[in-house]
Structure 1
Amino acid sequence: MVKIKSEKQIEKMNEAGRLLASCHRSLSKLVKPGVTTLELDQFVENFLLEHGAKPAQKGYMGYPFAICASVNHEVCHGFPNKQALRNGDIATIDFVVDLNGWLADSAWSYGVGTISSSAERLLRTAKKSLYKGIEQAKVGNRLGDIGYAIQTYAEKKGYSIVREFIGHGIGRTIHEDPQVHHIGERNTGIKLKEGMVITIEPILNQGMPFVTMKPDGWTAVTFDGGLSAQYEHTVAITKEGPIILTEQA
């Protein structure tokens, strides 16, 4: 069942979103060659605790870290580790903030040092795909309109979209209804209503859309070894249009 949020509840989620965006801005200055994703994980956890919040995904379904850190061909849910990031890597950092019981969720892909032009193009297209989807998150539209906008833009640019991992409703828990697919047809799926809060989080691959799992049971990687990138925002559906609760600008 889709849970409709009041204006007051959305403002509480916006507070969590603003904190999350602030953390991402600080984190972006640390993502550089020689830093480990385990160090980034510790930074995020400390940052949130210092600001009266906590990392919502730590312990969720047994997940052991504050962030997901997915590097290069890792699609999502990567485990932070002690391996240093290298010049030319791309790293997607995804985490959920719990501030006073209300959640916000956002992922961002970062270039490490100087990245290749093809990696830069992937990141640019993945980010633009997210915003194409957000543009359709309006009262009266349907979920399929979001997926259609993302799919048509990404595929026109020559990228594939991972099907297995999708967006979702969010509020007091990480995953609520509805499921938000990043492919779709116009005017299909449930109608978007004022007060819905969802994540939109397309994952784009350079090659095929298929993924396989690492032995840890969490980390998904591209089937063909190609690069993967993801951007995600938490978005409120309002009568004034979509409001991004996790905007970094």
Structure 2
Amino acid sequence: MIELRTPAEIEQMRPAGAFVASVLEATRDAAAVGVNLLELDALAHDMIRAAGAESCYIDYHPSFGASPFGKVICTSVNDAVLHGLPHDYTLKDGDLLSLDFAASVDGWVSDSAVSLIVGTPREEDERLIQVTAEALDAGIAQAVVGKRIGDISAAIGDVAADAGLEVNLDFGGHGVGRVMHGDPHVPNDGRRKRGLPLRPGLVFAIEPWFLHTTDEIFTDPDGWTLRSADGSRGAHWEHTVAITEDGPIILTARSS
């Protein structure tokens, strides 16, 4: 069911967005050569406890997950692009890391993701991260009253196409509110002027994710982590966005 939030409710969602942004900033800044993924998860867990927030991940068990997730942040490295289950892995120079985090504050949820390079960057990884971020910006620019979901999807897909990237449509953006995943679905490619009309009060996550040379993925034996079929690297960016009469509000905007 698609729900519309009042202006007052959107204001009530701001603390959740700010908290999610702060955790991503902290874990992003902590990610370095020699840091273990479990350390990043522990940092996020500590911040959740200190803020009195609730994890959206730790008990999460959708149909595509083998078991409850059991951790509080997704850490996807190199050929992993989504739902990376934190495990005993120490980051190496040149790793491409995507962090995806969602939490509930006072009953309201926000969801966001960022990609970065640990240590020495590779040019092709920098370009992939940049293109994915540009796709997010292009999608958000279409998140205005009078447009449709298809306009957001097409804007994301056009950025990918211009960069020579294929788009997987198995996972994309989604409604956010009292729960992490709700309606509407926001695909990362589509047709303009099609789909749900955008109205004030809609709140959803926009989340482009691309792989270097494929759009095919498979599930790791851990039952969660999604990896590219050909071993190529992936990047993932996401923001929770509210539609208002005055334009989109990025609830998970980071300070840096």
AA partner of residue 214 (structure 2): M
Moved over 6 A (4+): none
Which residue pairs with 2:40 in the alignment? 40
The residue that corresponds to 1:188 in the other structure is: 194
Task: Say whether residues 1:231 and 2:237 are aligned partners.
Answer: yes
Report percent identity of matched pairs.
39
Task: State whether residues 45 and 54 of structure 1, in contact with CA within 8 Å, keep that contact through their aligned partners in structure 2.
Answer: no
Q: Secondary structure at the match of 1:238?
A: coil
Which amino acid in structure 1 is aligned with residue 189 of structure 2?
Answer: I
The alpha-carbon deviation at position 169 of structure 1 amounts to 0.4
Q: Which residue of 2 aligns with 1:198?
A: 204
Residue 82 of structure 1 pairs with residue 92 of structure 2:
no
| Matching residue of 2:185 | 179
In the TM superposition, residue 133 of structure 1 has moved relative to its aligned partner by 0.4
Give 1:27 shift.
Answer: 1.7
Of 150, 172, 193 in structure 1, the residue corresponding to residue 156 of structure 2 is 150
RMSD across aligned C-alpha pairs, in angstroms?
0.9
Contact 1:36 1:82 in 2 (8 A): yes
CA distance in 2, matches of 1:160, 1:18: 32
Of stretches 154-163 and 166-175 in structure 1, the one that deviates more from structure 2 is 154-163
1:26-175 aligned within 5 A: 26-61=26-61, 62-175=68-181
Q: Report the alpha carbon displacement of residue 160 of structure 1 after superposing the two structures with TM.
A: 2.0
Gaps of 5+ in 1: none
Which of 232, 235, 252 is the equivalent residue of 1:246?
Answer: 252
* Aligned-pair CA distance for 1:176: 1.1
Paired residues of 1:161 and 1:204 also in contact (CA < 8 A): yes
Shift of 1:215: 1.7
Please tell me the residue identity of whatever aligns with 2:17: G
Asked if the contact 1:16/1:104 (under 8 Å) is kept, the reply is yes
CA contact (8 A) 2:69 2:85 kept: no
Q: TM-score, normalised by structure 1?
A: 0.98
Distance 2:26 2:41 in 1: 13
Cα-to-partner distance string for 1:89-111 (whole Å, 9 max, x where unaligned): 01111111110111000011111
Deviation at 1:214, TM superposition (A): 1.1
Please report the TM-score for the alignment, with normalisation by the length of structure 2: 0.95
Partner amino acid for 1:7?
A: P
Q: Take 1:33 and 1:12, find their aligned partners in 2: how far apart are those partners? A: 38
